[in-house]
Amino acid sequence: MSNGGWLRALSPFLLGVAMGIVSLVAAGLLLYGGPGFLPALVVVLATQLASAALGAAYGARRRESDPVEALRRQWLLALVAVTLAVVFSMAWEWFAGFGAPALSQGLGLALLAALPLFGAGSVVGALSRFPQSRGAAVADGPAAVLGAAAGVLLTGLVFFPMLGSSAALLLLALMVASTGALLQGRCLAGVVWTQPLASRDGAAAPDPEYLQAWVGGRSERSRFVLTEGGRVRGVLTPEGGAFLSVDRALVRGIEGWTGRKGGRALFLGVGRLPLAFHLDALRRREEDAGPDAGLQIMDGSQDLLAAVEELAYRVGSQASVRSGEMSSNGDSAGLVLRPVPVEEALTGSRDGLPPASFDLVVLDTLALAPSPGAFRLPPGALQQLLSALGPNGVLILGPLQDGGAPGSFLDRAREMARHVPRASLYVAGRVSREEAEELPARWVEPWRRSVPEPGSRPAFMVLGGGRAAGWPDRIEGYLRVVLDVGEAAVEAGA
């Protein structure tokens, strides 16, 4: 079982231990002076079990926009309940059971038995809404019950003979439950779940098959995800920025490679949408952007492009978005969306690429392949892409990965570099080890296919551009490999 699986099972187990202690102490305190052992035992145990069941039902039924925050509230409820039990047990011992009247026994039943078990049950119920840890051998409910059994045994055989005080035992229960809450927080930090997107004013809710919100236990793991046919096509932060390392590197390096902030850009595929939003923001701030500045995005699905338009509003982009052709004399729209399949555009079997000359062309490789390692350009596609570039234009291909076969990936990159005067391959400086996280069950495999595999090196290519453009040797963890022979000879001589 993985470390995450142990932590996931250990948290409710420790909670169960604490509740076992609470249950036995409650029975011991409440039964010593009762009129009848069996009737009192029935009332106490029935109250405890019913409270735990009601708490579990309560935790499982709640529908919160933020399940992690809801779970934290359930943990807080359980800890506060145990704390109240500690205070009551101290008062009980100090005042000798308050003379054991019916009122004090009823209050004790509520504070020592009902409320802690209800809080614990609500935690287990809330946990049932989350996906099981990969490799977890014990589910949350059974782990909590096993913990309760262990708590009863440990209290009766070890803790009670050692401590001899009900208040001390309940303090121990509070410490154990607090430890479980801390471990739960660590476990939930990597959890990611899908969250329905509500409709905006005057607009229908987006189709979840094309646009989803993935919310993380840590805010920095949250993202908007563009999907199509069970594939992950694009990923952005809730602010519209770059979530993937390849997009962060492209955003950092784009001004140096292109040598200008304005100009015309063509995006084949929606995967590099963070770069498109970044360029549109630069274009709007640039006073001399020129009449031909603008961005165009081509992809084969009208529904997917509709999700892109919706996403532009969700992330607060100032871009004006419309569907159709971009005018050859410029266009006031920040993003122009065209429903043209990328592969058909590259092979010329349909409308082909726009006749305009672009300062930047970005090919999302996942528009042509299910994973970075499976990417292959169709015959004649590279010439099509290069023909769409204007003077000193830049072509970017990504994401890529070496596929684990030494030499083959670099040979393919060098073959493409032969067609341009300048080209570089940017490769991650160390083997990619994506941070482990519990993804929604349906999207575990699609997400793995959209990012470089463990043991491979993620990469992207930059081709073309003028000699005056800045080409950093290192950018966001990616190292530059010079591919054009002329530049390599000049740099070696220097």
Measure Cα distances from 154 to 18, 22, 119, 159, 296 in Å. Answer: 10, 12, 22, 6, 67
DSSP state of 357: -
Looking up tokens 């080209």, which residue turns up? 423
Predicted local confidence at residue 491, as pLDDT = 43
Q: Is the pLDDT of residue 81 over 90?
A: yes
Asked whether the predicted pLDDT for residue 83 surpasses 90, the reply is yes
Which pLDDT tens digit goes with each residue over 312-358? Answer: 888 876 666 767 655 444 455 578 888 888 988 888 765 567 777 88
Q: Mean pLDDT throughout 34-56? A: 74
- Confidence band (pLDDT; 50, 70, 90) for 226? very high
**Residue for token digits 């996931």?**
8
Q: Among 151, 192, 152, 153, which residue's Cα sits nearest to residue 175? A: 151
Higher-pLDDT residue of 455, 210? 210
Helices (H), 128-165: 140-154, 160-163
Region 457-475: mean pLDDT is 81
- pLDDT at residue 293 is higher than 70: no
Q: Which of 38-47, 188-197, 242-251, 252-261 has the lowest mean pLDDT?
A: 38-47
Higher local confidence (pLDDT), 2 or 146:
146
Please give the structure tokens belonging to residue 213. Answer: 């919100």
Domain ranges of the chain: 3-188, 245-493
Between 451 and 427, the more confident residue is 427
Q: How open is the CA angle 93-13-52, to the nearest 5 degrees?
A: 65
Tracing tokens 């596929």 back to the chain, one arrives at: 403
The pLDDT of 19-29, averaged and rounded, is: 76
Q: Which helix (H) or strand (E) holds 43?
A: helix 37-61
What would the CATH number be for the domain defined by 3-188?
Answer: 1.20.1250
* Beta carbons of 245 and 335 less than 8 angstroms apart: no
Q: Is the pLDDT of residue 238 over 50?
A: yes
pLDDT digits (tens, 9 = 90+) for 412-442: 888 888 888 888 999 987 655 555 677 777 8
Q: What pLDDT score was predicted for residue 38?
A: 52
End-to-end CA, the chain: 54
Q: pLDDT value at position 431?
A: 56
441 and 466 Cβ atoms separated by less than 8 Å:
no
Average pLDDT of the segment spanning 146-163: 87
**pLDDT tops 60 at residue 394:** yes
pLDDT of residue 270 exceeding 70, the answer is yes
Cα–Cα distance list, 353 to 118, 330, 341, 382 (Å): 63, 17, 10, 12
pLDDT one-digit tens code per residue, 197-224: 887 776 778 888 999 999 887 888 889 9
**Stretch 225-248: mean pLDDT:** 92
Q: Is 215 strand, coil or helix? A: strand
Taking all residues of the chain, what is their mean pLDDT, rounded to a whole number?
A: 80
Q: pLDDT tens for residues 348-381?
A: 765 567 777 888 999 999 999 888 888 888 888 9
Res 398 pLDDT > 50 = yes
Using a CB cutoff of 8 Å and minimum separation of 24, what contacts does 233-238 make? 233/269, 233/270, 233/271, 233/304, 233/364, 233/366, 233/367, 233/450, 234/270, 234/271, 234/272, 234/273, 234/308, 234/364, 235/450, 236/273, 236/274, 236/277, 236/311, 236/315, 237/274, 237/315, 238/213, 238/315
Q: Is the dihedral of CA 222, 228, 232, 237 positive or negative?
A: negative
Mean pLDDT lowest for which of 191-195, 275-279, 291-295, 487-491?
487-491
Q: What is the mean pLDDT of residues 118-143?
A: 73
Handedness of CA 219, 225, 231, 233 (dihedral sign): negative
221-230 contacts at long range (C-beta below 8 A, 24 or more positions apart): 221/189, 221/190, 221/192, 221/437, 222/192, 224/311, 224/314, 224/315, 225/443, 226/270, 226/271, 226/273, 226/304, 226/307, 226/308, 226/311, 227/443, 227/446, 228/301, 228/303, 228/304, 230/446
Residue 117: pLDDT band by 50, 70, 90 thresholds? Answer: very high
Contact (CB, 8 A) for 423 and 447: no
Do domains 3-188 and 245-493 share one topology? The answer is no
- How confident is the model at residue 275, as a pLDDT? 92
Report how many helices (DSSP H) and strands (DSSP E) the chain contains, helices first: 16, 14
Q: For residue 459, what are the β-bridge partners?
A: 400, 427
Cβ neighbors of 284 (< 8 A, separation 6 or more) are 318, 334
Residue 106, classed as helix, strand or coil, is helix
In angstroms, the CA 428 to CA 476 distance is 9
Distance between CA atoms of residues 353 and 334, nearest Å: 19
Model confidence pLDDT, tens digit, residues 174-188: 999 999 999 888 887
CA distance 290 to 359: 12
Which CATH superfamily groups domain 245-493? Vaccinia Virus protein VP39 (3.40.50.150)
Using 50, 70 and 90 to split pLDDT, how confident is the model at 37?
low
Residue 488: band (very low, low, confident or very high) from pLDDT cuts 50, 70, 90: very low
Q: What is the percent of the chain where pLDDT is above 70?
A: 78
102 has pLDDT over 90: no
Q: Does the predicted TM-score (pTM) go above 0.85?
A: no
Q: Are strands 294-299 and 458-464 parallel, antiparallel or unpaired?
A: unpaired
β pairing state of 223-228 and 358-364: unpaired
